[in-house]
Amino acid sequence: MRLTGYFMPTLKETPSEAQIVSHRLMLRAGMIRQASAGIYSWLPLGVRVLKNIERIVREEQDLAGAQEVLMPTIQAADLWQKSGRYDAYGPEMLRITDRHGREMLYGPTNEELITDIFQHSVKSYRDVPKMLYHIQWKFRDEVRPRFGIMRGREFLMKDNYSFDLDFAGAKKSYNKMFVSYLRTFARLGLKAIPMAAESGPIGGDLSHEFIILADTGESAVYCHRDFIDFDVLGQTIDYDGDLEPIVNHWTKLYARTDDMHDPAAFDKQVPADKQISNRGIEVGHIFYFGTKYSEPLGAVVSSAEGQPVPVHMGSYGIGVSRLAGAIIEASHDENGIIWPESVAPFHVGLINLKASDAACAKVCDDLYGKLRAAGVEVLYDDRDERPGTKFASMDLIGLPWQLVVGPRGVDKGVVELKRRRSGEREEISADAAMARLTA
């Protein structure tokens, strides 16, 4: 992509309405624009990041055996009346009336709808277990939408739902998602810590929140330092095997948010030099809630003995749009965003320091063509701007690599390759740079 033709409306000034760094940087980098309170438009750079996050979330859901569906954003009220949540959800639910006077709502979550889909088509114990997920926009009329897309009213969520014959089966599904979440967040460049949680309006009795440490987080968290030091991607996971030992390993280590925190237990279970108390951002939340929805909505299968049994369910959410902000909170410096490779909107930013110089333009055009031909995503700053402006925008948007071409280098037959994260620079030949970037 050439920057001269790209829609990336960056801001020089720090927007005064933004209180936290990720919100400021997302606005300044031209990733999002507010449409109304807690509701955002995603601009090209933001969409690229969102799609990358979605892709990783989807790959890991599929790997764990979940199947993708797509449910609508607008739901009829009747299922929610059956489950009892139509009233219980209160003013956070956006209620809509259609032209026939029918009560509808913009889904804040999908337990009712997925349970209804399931109960229509599944009758036998042979049809379970199943895990069905979608990635869809949600609406919650939050009292205090804030921090940009971090606590929005409209937001993108991955929500997965599991159906099993009994608790033992449901626990296996829960374990799959538990492990899958560790992997998903690690691939997004995050250390997300599973914390024992209360299940709130979703209901149920087994629940973990996945929380990343960040000073601007909304929850206070207390945990064992071992969570920070682990490498979950180093190990291959057999989702058909027994995941209980892995899950137990993590759930026995102390990790609690403030509402569940027990200072005496914390001191007893975690040596002082291993104690972490910080703030954190919730990026995922998993629940086992048994037959809470299957009973009222009639999701019943016949057991091997021919008895009708309501299925045991769980639901598993990831805040896909929130993650864009959470990743920035976890990875930035005073000059801007530092994207992990896996979600970066482009792999490399190509900077022509002197757009009016024919030799520079030739080297840049040539590199641009070769990089694209090799399948490397490249944003080419071909604008007629001062070098300082170009460096500043490239640092702001945080692509992993910067490839800088200037008249002095071109004379010597070299370009400069800079790593955004470390600031490390190298003068190398254009061919060597190509080799590096396509490796």
CB of 47 to ligand 5CA, least distance (A): 17
User: Nearer Cβ to ligand 5CA, position 38 or 398?
Assistant: 38
Tokens 């994207």, located at residue: 339
For the CB of residue 145, give the shortest distance to ligand 5CA in the complex, in Å: 7
- The CB density around residue 6, as the number of other CB atoms within 10 Å, is 16
Quickly list DSSP for 16-52.
TT--SHHHHHHHHTTSEEEEETTEEEEPHHHHHHHHH
The answer to whether 138 and 319 have CB atoms below 8 angstroms apart is no
Q: Strands 348-352 and 219-224: what pairing?
A: unpaired
Of 24 and 158, nearer to ligand 5CA (C-beta) is 158
- Smallest gap from Cβ 25 to ligand 5CA, in A, equals 17
DSSP string, 341-354: TTT-S-SEEEEES-
Residues 6+ apart with CB under 8 A from 38: 142, 145, 146, 151, 152, 153, 154
Least distance CB 85 / ligand 5CA (angstroms): 11
Least Cβ distance, residue 218 to ligand 5CA (angstroms): 10
Closest to ligand 5CA by CB, 166 or 218: 218
For residue 425, give both structure tokens: 């620079």
- Spatial separation of the C-alpha atoms in residues 435 and 247, rounded to whole Å: 41
Shortest Cβ 309–ligand 5CA spacing (Å):
23
Nearer to ligand 5CA, 195 or 202 (CB): 202
Q: Which is nearer to ligand 5CA, 254 or 289 (CB)?
A: 289
Closest to 351 measured CA to CA, from 405, 299, 430? 405
Nearer to ligand 5CA, 330 or 376 (CB): 330
Query: Judged by CB, which is closer to ligand 5CA: 151, or 390?
Result: 151
Binding site for ligand 5CA (CB under 6 A): 109, 111, 140, 142, 151-152, 155, 157, 159, 202, 282-285, 315-317, 319, 321-322
Rounded-to-integer distance, Cα 384 and Cα 158, Å:
42
In the complex, the smallest distance separating the C-beta of residue 183 from ligand 5CA, rounded to whole angstroms, is 17
Q: How far apart are CA 53 and CA 229, in angstroms?
A: 23
